[in-house]
């Protein structure tokens, strides 16, 4: 069944009213998108930020009255002008199939593969290490450069018997990859309950849930781990440097990502107090810093 899509752009402060108006007029679904170029990858604890300019896309029945919707919205939202509303017809789709077409098996490093959860790896996969992933609503499928940089780093580590801390675990892909690569235990930390749920579901799907502990930041005891990976953002990484230093044993390898090009120098200086052998790797506009904890 086709749908009628209505699209409009509003300021973040006006978004709740606009979304409520669309729902009151019978929208079957409303999607919020960045109307400009202000990515939000990792909110601070307790925050639910929006972009400065928000695009709302609402789906209505295909036979909905466009003129009636326009008049009603302009009455409910006086700041809108009729020419700010855009309509288009959209075909019904097999959304799972569309997602599957976009998310194909990907290799990271020498042997690590990320597969959609319902795609079977070949029987002759050899030494391939396969993570089966359903990202759900949380960040982290491996398609983003920051995630790819961290997965490649994990693939190059000797993880047998180690405990790996994944700070900002998102979908759990990094913690699960560490476990599939041989880590004895992993700890996932995230301020988003939805991310912890996605991580738990993905861990169960990969048969490693018993070895993955998941916590909100304030519920984590900070016991030292043997390795740490944090794919968040430069600001939180700078703030967390002392905590990360206390969270790993001397000599432990670390990887930090979610860093835009140009932000690495400040972080290198910040982490040099506690970490050594710091190296930078880049992909597209993103950077990973890797190193190891200094001996006390």
Q: What is the pLDDT confidence band of residue 94, given thresholds at 50, 70 and 90?
A: very low
What's the confidence (pLDDT) of residue 45?
Answer: 42
In this predicted structure, the answer to whether residue 82 has a pLDDT above a threshold of 90 is no
5 neighbors 90 (Cβ within 8 angstroms): yes
Give the per-residue pLDDT at 138: 39
Name the residue with higher pLDDT: 284 or 137.
284
DSSP 94: -
pLDDT of residue 174: 94
| DSSP state letter for 140 | -
- pLDDT range class, residue 207, cuts 50, 70, 90: very high
Neighbouring-strand partners of residue 9: 55
CB neighbours of residue 239 within 10 Å: 11
Query: What is the topology classification, in CATH, of domain 104-293?
Result: Rossmann fold (3.40.50)
Mean pLDDT for 190-211 is 90
- Cα separation, 262 vs 87, in Å, equals 40
Q: Which CATH class is domain 3-92?
A: alpha beta
Residue pair 90/61 in contact by the 8 Å Cβ criterion: no
* Res. 19: pLDDT tops 60: yes
Those residues with Cβ within 8 angstroms of residue 98's Cβ, 6 or more apart along the chain or in another chain = none
For 121-148, the pLDDT digits (tens) are: 665 666 788 888 764 443 455 557 888 8
Annotated binding site for S-adenosyl-L-methionine: 147, 168, 190, 231
pTM of the model: 0.67
Q: Quick one: residue 6, left, alpha or beta (phi over 0 = left, psi -120 to 50 = alpha)?
A: beta
Bind-site residues: 147, 168, 190, 231
pLDDT at residue 101 tops 60: no
Q: Where are the domains of the chain?
A: 3-92, 104-293
Q: Which residue has the tokens 């108006």?
A: 21
Q: Which pLDDT tens digit goes with each residue over 221-248?
A: 888 999 999 998 889 999 999 999 999 9
Reply yes or no on whether the pLDDT at 24 is more than 80.
yes
Structure tokens at 219: 């519920």
277: left (phi over 0), alpha (psi -120 to 50) or beta: left
Q: What is the bridge-based pairing of β-strands 185-189 and 163-167?
A: parallel
> Regarding beta strands 112-116 and 129-133, do their DSSP bridges make them parallel or antiparallel, or are they unpaired?
parallel
Q: Looking at the predicted structure, is the pLDDT value of residue 95 above 60?
A: no
Per-residue confidence (pLDDT) for residue 288, from 0 to 100: 97
- Which residues does 238 contact at the CB level (< 8 Å), separation at least 6? 266, 267, 270
Residue 44, pLDDT above cutoff 50: no
| 159 CB-contact burial (10 Å; exposed 0-12 / middle 13-18 / buried 19+) | buried
């Amino acid at each position: 069944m086709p749908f009628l899509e209505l699209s409009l752009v509003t300021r973040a402060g006006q978004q709740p009213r606009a979304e409520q108006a669309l729902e009151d007029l019978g929208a079957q679904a409303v999607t919020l998108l960045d109307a400009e170029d202000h990515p939000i990858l990792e909110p601070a604890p307790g925050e639910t930020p929006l972009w400065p300019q928000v695009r709302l896309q609402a789906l209505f029945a295909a036979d909905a009255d466009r003129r009636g919707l326009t008049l009603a919205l302009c009455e409910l939202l006086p700041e809108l002008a009729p020419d700010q509303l855009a309509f288009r017809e959209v075909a019904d789709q097999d959304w799972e199939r569309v997602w599957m077409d976009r998310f194909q098996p990907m290799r990271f490093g020498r042997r690590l593969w990320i597969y959609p959860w319902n795609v079977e790896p070949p029987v002759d996969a050899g030494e391939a290490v396969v993570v089966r992933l359903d990202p759900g609503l949380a960040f982290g499928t491996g398609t983003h450069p920051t995630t790819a940089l961290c997965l490649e780093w994990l693939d190059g580590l000797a993880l047998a018997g180690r405990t790996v801390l994944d700070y900002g675990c998102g979908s759990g892909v990094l913690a699960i990859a560490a476990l599939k690569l041989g880590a004895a235990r992993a700890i996932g930390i995230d301020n988003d309950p939805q991310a912890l749920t996605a991580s738990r579901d993905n861990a169960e799907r990969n048969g490693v849930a018993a070895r993955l502990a998941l916590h909100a930041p304030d519920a984590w005891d900070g016991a030292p781990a043997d390795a740490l990976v944090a794919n968040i953002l430069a600001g939180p990484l700078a703030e967390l440097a002392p905590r990360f230093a206390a969270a790993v044993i001397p000599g432990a390898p670390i990887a930090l990502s979610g860093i835009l090009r140009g932000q690495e120098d400040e972080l290198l200086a910040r982490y040099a107090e506690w970490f050594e052998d710091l190296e930078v790797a880049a992909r597209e506009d993103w950077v990973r810093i890797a190193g190891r904890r200094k001996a006390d």
